[in-house]
Structure 1
């Protein structure tokens, strides 16, 4: 493969990387690629994730959403559940976080049988983190300092898959707010940063994720 197609698959990107590196795949690339690859089966594999969990329609508060269960047992709702999203970056990882929106406020605490919450139960410890891309941040920093064309293609692929998963969310949920840098915007900020201190200032404090 001399060059990549316009919208390459992860397999295309990995093959291109091998081509550029004479069959060798650096460990930092390999770790990022594996994590990104997990997104392709996030709704179909046997592993639980926050992303998969929030699509469980049996957990929806039908009274709040104007919903009902028909004679066949299928769930129908009049209003989409309201949620807010936030892109989170640590020193190594990227995560997409989700918060229920209750009476106009995004909530970061456990809610059970709350009349104004779209979900019967909301448990942040298992539902807030929709998914994680392990080692993506460290890979991005590496790629902008020492990377090649395939490294950049992997980052672009990750950005595209996250965007697609957010679009899938928007089909079932009303996304009220999205905070934080998208992967593309984060990369732009990394590219413009000149020092480790500037890069560190782009990262999030996971302990600061309150209702703000």
Structure 2
């Protein structure tokens, strides 16, 4: 059977998965692959997202950032907006959370027209979670225990996709803090725990999977 290329795209990984499984794709794989595909095209999708919202300079506080909007429509700033990022794993999946910095503190509440917030408006209920990969923690555990080459390739592709989007944020923002496990670090932590325990998924991921209340914390 033909192997994957060194740097396969998502379409190639999905096709390879179907070959390995005689056309049948497990539901959890399909869910994760579909979600990764949505995140992969987040900047090209027509619909709005929190990730696209924070990149839109029309919502930036130009007074705080010592910036201006040029006649060409371009926005330039002398100080990048400051934010903090957090990798979050919960029952829904993997999420990248964002917190603006105001007066050297992470903000987790609504701010509108605050002179200290880098955004004109910040609504955490719709803007904090930049994107989500559904069911990723369960899939990482499944891949570690029973995954084939296509599953491993999908995990790597998810990591690359998230890293690319974080790189874009690094270019536009001053990221003063990054908390939580990256996808690769989470997978490695699961590996360490599996090797040291005969327990099931819930016990092994205890402390790694957050409750909704935990994920709202900063």
TM-score by length of 2: 0.92
- The aligned residue for residue 205 of structure 2 is 199
CA distance in structure 2 between the partners assigned to 1:113 and 1:185 by the alignment: 38
Secondary structure at the aligned position of 1:130 is classed as strand
In terms of mean alpha carbon deviation, does 194-203 or 167-176 score higher? Answer: 194-203
Report the CA distance between 1:48 and its aligned residue: 2.0
Which ranges of 4 or more aligned residues in structure 1 deviate by more than 2 Å? 71-74, 208-212
Secondary structure at the aligned position of 1:45 is classed as coil
In terms of mean alpha carbon deviation, does 68-77 or 107-116 score higher? Answer: 68-77
Report the CA distance between 1:6 and its aligned residue: 1.7
Secondary structure at the aligned position of 2:101 is classed as strand
Report the CA distance between 1:92 and its aligned residue: 4.1
Report the CA distance between 1:86 and its aligned residue: 0.3
Report the CA distance between 1:192 and its aligned residue: 1.7
Secondary structure at the aligned position of 2:13 is classed as helix
Per-residue CA deviation, residues 56-78 of structure 1 (Å, 9 max, x unaligned), is 11111011000012223322111
CA distance in structure 2 between the partners assigned to 1:81 and 1:149 by the alignment: 40
Q: 1:140 to 1:92 in 2, by over 3 A?
A: farther
The total of aligned residue pairs comes to: 212
Report the CA distance between 1:113 and its aligned residue: 1.2
CA distance in structure 1 between the partners assigned to 2:26 and 2:172 by the alignment: 38
In terms of mean alpha carbon deviation, does 17-26 or 175-184 score higher? Answer: 17-26
1:100-139 equivalences in 2 (<5 Å)? 100-139=100-139
CA RMSD of aligned residues (A): 1.5
Which runs of 5 or more structure 2 residues have no equivalent in the other structure?
A: none
Per-residue CA deviation, residues 100-158 of structure 1 (Å, 9 max, x unaligned), is 01122111111111111111111101110000101111211211122111111101100
CA distance in structure 2 between the partners assigned to 1:176 and 1:211 by the alignment: 17
- The aligned residue for residue 165 of structure 2 is 165
Secondary structure at the aligned position of 1:54 is classed as helix
CA distance in structure 1 between the partners assigned to 2:183 and 2:82 by the alignment: 23
CA distance in structure 1 between the partners assigned to 2:204 and 2:150 by the alignment: 26
Which runs of 5 or more structure 1 residues have no equivalent in the other structure?
A: none
